[in-house]
Chains A and B, each alone.
Chain A
Amino acid sequence: MTSAGLDVGSRTIGPVLFDGGVVDSVVKDTGIKPLERCQQLLNGRSYNRLVVTGYGRHLVAPLLGGEVISEISAYAAGAHYLYPDSGTVIDIGGQDIKVIRLSDQGAVVRFEMNDRCAAGTGKFLEVMAHTLEVSLSEFAELALSASKFVQINSLCTVFAESEVVSLIARGEEASAIALALHQAVAKRITGMVHRVGLKERVIFAGGVARNRCLNELLGDILGVEITVPSEPQIVGALGAALMAGDGI
C-alpha cells in the first residue's frame, strides 16, 4: 500500500510517497497558489491515503481528500523513522522554529515553538542575507569565513536589520556581521532546546538545516553532534506519509 504525505510549508511544498520506504519525493516552492501547486504535484502520483501537514494543511487537506496532522507530530514521526534514536528534533522552516523532545518510542514529550515573530526563522535569514547583498547559500559560507567577532543583540527582523545597517556604517566586515547574525539565531534556538530539555541524538531538519554555519554553531553551543538528514526538507512530509500508512 502506498501512502502519501504532503508538507505545505510557507516556503516549500513537498509530497512524499511511502511504501515500505520512500518511493518518491519532491520539494517545490510554495508560491502564491499553494492549492494549485499541491494539485500539480499530486497529479499522476497514485496512493491509497493522504495526510497533509504544514502551514497550509487546513486549506489543502479537505480539497484533496486528505487528513491533517500538525507539523510537530509529523516531524517527530519522520525523524524517528530516519533515526530511531532521535531525542530532540529542531525544525526551522520559513515561518517557524520548532523544537521537539521525543520519548524513546518516538512520541512527542514536549515542544517549543516561536510565537508570531519571525525572529530566527528562514525568513529572518533571508532578509538578513538580502541586507548583506548575498544569496542565502552564500550567506552561511560568508559567516564561516569570518575572522572577527561582533555581536548582534536584536533578533527582531526589523531591529536586527537596523543593527546590521549601523554595523556596516561602522565599517565592520560583512563576514563578521553574517556570523553575528547566525550566532544570534543559534542562541535563540539553543534556548528553546534547553527549555524542552536537550536529549541526544539531535536532528536538525527543515529548510534552514541546509545552512552549514548554523549547523556548526548549534553543535558548538549545545556540545553535541548535530545530525542533518540528507534531505532535511522532506522530514515533515515523510512523517505525514508514515502516519497515512499507520492511520493517525
Chain B
Amino acid sequence: MTTDYRPMWTSLGLDLEAHDILLNVLGQAYQDTFLSQKNRPEGMSYLDFVVSEVHGLRIKELQDARSEGRKVIGTFCVFVPDELILAADAISVGLCAGAEFGFDEAERLLPRNTCSLIKSFFGFKLNRVCPYMEAADLLVGETTCDGKKKAYEIFKGIQPNIYVMEVPQMKTAQDRALLKSEYLRFKEELERLTGVTITAERLKRGIQLVNNRREALSRLSALRVARPAPLSGLDALLINQVAFYDDPVRFTGAVNKICDELEGRVGAGERVSPKGTPRILVSGCPMAVPNWKLAAIIEGSGGVIVGEESCVGEWGTRNLVVETGSDVDTLMEAIVDRYFKVDCAIFTPNPERLDNVVDMVARYKADGVIHYALQFCSPYTVESYRVEQELSSRGIPVLRIETDYSPEDVGQLKTRAEAFLEMIRK
C-alpha cells in the first residue's frame, strides 16, 4: 500500500511533474544498482525501505516535527556539527546533491566549469524537486571551497534562509580558534531559531546521539576488514549516505542490526563477491545520494570496495567527541577537537590525509586505491597528485579518476577500472 504524498509535496511547493521524473530515475537506478546485487544482508531491507520513502515518510516525519514546533536544518558538509543541531532539539538533514538534474537551469547562474555537486544543489532548488530543501527552516553552507562559498552568494537570492559557516583552511592554533568561534556563532544561531537554550545536559545528549551513530558506522567498517568482504561497497556507501538524513536513533539501531548479521556472515565466511576479487579503497570527494556511479563501475568490473576515505565514509565516523565534560564550554571544546581532526582536502598542508590513506589501505587489506575527484574540484584534483605519489612510493597500486555525474564517460571509466583490477590480479 502506498501513501499519496502529493498533497504534502504540493504544500512544500514542489514541481510535481519534475519531481515525478526525478523519483522515476531514482527508483530505476536503485533497482538496477542495488536490488540486482546478489547475497545482500537481510538487514539492508531497512535501507531499501528508507530509500523507497526518501521523499515520502521521512519528509512526513520532518513536517510532523515542524508542526510541533521543531526546526529542520539542512546541511552540506561534515564540518557542520550535528551535535549542536540535536542539542537544540532540531533535526539535521544532509542535503544530497548527487544527481545530474536541472543542470541547464543551474548553468544560467553558474559557470559551466563548476563541479557537479554545486550544480546539482542549484538544479534541485531551481527545479523545486528537493523536499528536504523546501522543508528546511535553515540551510547551512560552509566555506570549504571557492566554488561553494561564492555559489552560496547566488544561492541566497533563491533561498534566503541560508547561513554560511566559515571553515578554516589551515591547522594552526588561530584556525582552531576560528573553528571554535564559528561553532559558537552557529550555536547562537540555532538557539535563536529554535528558542532552545543549549545547556550542558542537552549538548551532552546531542554528543551521545552522534557518537552512537559514529560507533555503529565504525563497527560496520571494522566488519568490512574481514576477508572475504561480507558487504558490498555499494551497500556500505548507501548506509553512509543515509546516515546524513535518517533519524539518528532509528538509523543507529538498524546499522547495529546489520552489524549483528554481518558478524554471523563473517564467522561463516560468507562472501558478496567471488574468491580473488580485488579489494579497493575509494578515496576522495564525497558521493552524495544518488551518486553511485563510480562504486557501481568498480563493483560491476569485478572489484569490491572495502572502505571509503571520504567525508561520506570514514571522516564522518572517525574519532568520537569526548563526552565527559560537564559544562558547555568543555563540551564545545571537545566538539572542536573532534572536527578539527577532519583531514579534508581544503586544508593546507594536509599530511594527515596521506597518513590516513596509507593506514586505511593496511587496515582494510586493500589491494589498491581508486582516487575519485569531481571535475573542477580543485582541492581534490590537485591533492590527488600527492596521494598518488605517497601510495606509489609504497608500492600500493593507485588509479586517479576525475569525473562528474553524467553517464557519458562510463565506458571509458569501465575500461580504466577493469584494467586496474586486471593489473592488481596479476
Interface positions of A (Cβ within 8 A of B)? 55, 58, 68-73, 95-96, 107-109, 111, 113-116
Contact = CB atoms under 8 A, between A and B. Distances in A.
Contacts of A96: 412, 415
Given A55-B411, A115-B409, A69 B422 contact: yes
B283 to A, nearest CB: 17
A48 B411 CA distance: 28
User: Would you call the interface of chain B mostly helix, strand, loop, or mixed?
Assistant: helix
Interface in B382-425: 402-403, 408-409, 411-412, 414-416, 418-419, 422-423
Given A55-B411, A116-B408, A108 B402 contact: no
Given A69-B418, A96-B412, A111-B423, 19 more contacts: A55-B411, A58-B414, A69-B422, A70-B416, A70-B419, A70-B422, A72-B415, A72-B422, A73-B419, A73-B422, A95-B412, A96-B415, A108-B419, A108-B422, A108-B423, A109-B423, A111-B419, A113-B419, A114-B412
A107 B409 contact: no
A72 B411 CA distance: 14
B250 interface: no
B38 interface: no
Contact of B412 (A73, A111, A115): A115
A55 B411 CA distance: 7
A70 B414 CA distance: 9
20 contacts: A55-B411, A58-B414, A68-B418, A70-B415, A70-B416, A70-B418, A70-B422, A71-B419, A72-B418, A72-B423, A95-B412, A96-B412, A96-B415, A107-B423, A108-B422, A111-B423, A113-B412, A115-B402, A115-B409, A115-B412
Contacts of A58: 414
B108 interface: no
A113 B416 contact: yes
Contacts of B426: 107-108
Nearest to A113: B416
Nearest to A68: B418
Contacts of A55: 411, 415
A181 to B, nearest CB: 23
A169 to B, nearest CB: 27
A68 B415 CA distance: 11
A72 B412 contact: no
Residue in B402, B408, B411, B422 with the greatest tally of chain A CB atoms within 10 Å: B422
Contacts of B403: 115
A108 B419 CA distance: 9
Interface of B: 402-403, 408-409, 411-412, 414-416, 418-419, 422-423, 426
Contacts of B416: 70, 72, 111, 113
Contacts of B414: 58
A68 B300 CA distance: 13
Contacts of A68: 418
Contacts of A108: 419, 422-423, 426
A58 B297 CA distance: 13
A95 B415 CA distance: 12
A113 B403 CA distance: 13
In the A-B complex, the 7 residue pairs with the closest CB atoms: A72-B419, A116-B409, A70-B419, A70-B418, A108-B423, A73-B422, A107-B426
Contacts of A70: 415-416, 418-419, 422
Contacts of B409: 115-116
Contacts of A72: 415-416, 418-419, 422-423
A71 B411 CA distance: 12
Nearest to A243: B422
Nearest to B397: A110
A56 B387 CA distance: 33
A2 B262 CA distance: 46
A123 B403 CA distance: 21
A71 B419 CA distance: 8
A110 to B, nearest CB: 8
A99 to B, nearest CB: 12
A73 B418 CA distance: 9
Residue in B416, B419, B426 with the greatest tally of chain A CB atoms within 10 Å: B419
Contacts of B418: 68-70, 72
Nearest to B406: A116
Nearest to B425: A248
A4 B415 CA distance: 21
A95 B414 CA distance: 14
Contacts of A71: 415, 419
A212 B132 CA distance: 59
A113 B409 CA distance: 12
Nearest to B412: A116
Nearest to A58: B414
Nearest to A55: B411
Contacts of B419: 70-73, 108, 111, 113
Contacts of B415: 55, 70-72, 96, 113
A25 B44 CA distance: 50
A21 B92 CA distance: 66
B404 to A, nearest CB: 9
A114 B401 CA distance: 10
A116 B408 CA distance: 7
A108 B171 CA distance: 39
B37 to A, nearest CB: 18
A72 B416 CA distance: 8
A34 to B, nearest CB: 13
Contacts of B408: 116
A96 B415 CA distance: 10
Contacts of A111: 416, 419, 423
Contacts of A113: 412, 415-416, 419
Nearest to B411: A55
A231 to B, nearest CB: 22
Contacts of A116: 408-409, 412
A170 B53 CA distance: 62
Contacts of B402: 115
Nearest to A100: B419
A108 B416 CA distance: 12
Contacts of A69: 418, 422
